[in-house]
Structure 1
């Protein structure tokens, strides 16, 4: 993300002059979780070098099953 302004822009939810919240979620197959190093269980650093790596729309995503989808009525 680039900020072309001459000031800092902060994350917020006031609908004023701030950027939107940014969430990133990823998962690994359960059988591979145990093989990860403890340091791989969390992400505490800014990995700017990875932000430009985009997965294509035909990336091998896991299937979505109807019973896994949750919608809350308003």
Structure 2
């Protein structure tokens, strides 16, 4: 599951490089844990968008439930 944050710039909306620290903090997620889970982080961003927090919440629920297919040797065996 791949999720991209949204960044608002002047009159346009674009995909961001990663989630801001404020967005991680809203879900009580540390930087280390986010990196371990494979969540992209953009240390330059300071904004906090509710849209990104909801997307991150859905991503966390999916990852913690184990919704992702196995990778590597485990995938070959099944």
Structure having the higher Rg: 1
Same fold (TM over 0.5): no
Q: So what's the TM-score if we normalise by structure 2?
A: 0.20
Report which structure shows greater RCO (CA 8 Å, sep ≥6): 2
Q: So what's the TM-score if we normalise by structure 1?
A: 0.20
